[in-house]
Amino acid sequence: MHQDCEKILLTEEQIQRRVQQIADRLNREYAGKNPLVIGILKGSVVFYSDLIRKLEMPIELDFMAVSSYGAGTTSSGFLKIKKDLDKNVEGRDVIIVEDIIDSGYTLAKLKKLLYARHPASVKIVVLLDKFERRAVAIEPDYSCFDIEDEFVIGYGLDYNEQYRNLPYIGILKRCVYEH
Ligand code: IMP
Ligand code: MG
């Protein structure tokens, strides 16, 4: 285990098993369709690459990078698009893949923004759901794990751009971010 980790919350095996279950559900829901699977950079890349390899229908890939600006540590401000999609989503079945839903501001604004482009449907898949922290009325359509309000790293998730490459999800030691 990495020295900055308090403990491992989810092992590689637990993650893979759960990602397969979510993929099975997507395979049933999107059978015969050709969804556009949108990964939100950068946090979702590891989850995204595991998930898409478990999907059996034809899919197209696209990516978006966004950042939320607001007061303090919450993402309550407006959503800035740092990298927009390459594809036109009009008439498409869109699946948004995100690492974690916390306050919900990011995904609520993203969903609204995509709906304005007239897709056929939009569904949200998240790896982690910090449900206790929700500040806006939005729920993911598919969530792999509900977690407590603790800062987690690994499997794509970062603190100051570090730890994304850890193969498991761990709780970051408080002494790393509380000085
Ligand atoms: P929301 O708009 O508050 O839902 O923000 C979600 C974003 O906050 C995620 O995309 C992550 O980038 C970040 N985030 C929230 N909690 C954590 C965490 O525990 N570890 C790493 N990033 C987090
Ligand atoms: Mg993120």
> Which of helix, strand or coil describes residue 73?
coil
Helix%, strand%, coil% for the chain, nearest 5: 25, 35, 40
Ligand 1 centroid to 107 CA: how many Å? 10
**Residues forming the active site:** 102
Under DSSP, the state recorded for 58 is -
**For the whole model, what pTM was predicted?**
0.94
Ligand 1 neighbours by CB, cut-off 6 Å: 43, 68, 75, 98-106, 151-152, 157
Half-sphere exposure of 94 (CA within 13 A, CB side): 29
Q: Give the model's pLDDT for residue 52.
A: 98
pLDDT tens track of the chain, all 179 residues? 999 999 999 999 999 999 999 999 999 999 999 999 999 999 999 999 999 999 999 999 999 999 876 544 555 667 899 999 999 999 999 999 999 999 999 999 999 999 999 999 999 999 999 999 999 999 999 999 999 999 999 999 999 999 999 999 999 999 999 88
The helices-and-strands tally (H runs, E runs) of the chain is: 4, 9
Mind spelling out the 3-state secondary structure of 85-126?
CCCCCCCCEEEEEEEEECCCHHHHHHHHHHHCCCCCEEEEEE
Q: Give the model's pLDDT for residue 70.
A: 55
Q: Give the model's pLDDT for residue 100.
A: 97
Confirm if 27 and 55 have CB atoms less than 8 A apart.
yes
Which one, of 90, 72, 91, 68, lies nearest residue 80 by Cα? 68
Q: Give the model's pLDDT for residue 13.
A: 98
Q: Give the model's pLDDT for residue 85.
A: 98
Query: Quick one: CA torsion of 68, 65, 164, 160, rounded to 10 degrees?
Result: -40
Ligand 1 pocket mutation pick from 5, 74, 96, 100 by most atoms within 8 angstroms of CB: 100
Closest ligand 1 atom, residue 105 Cα: 2
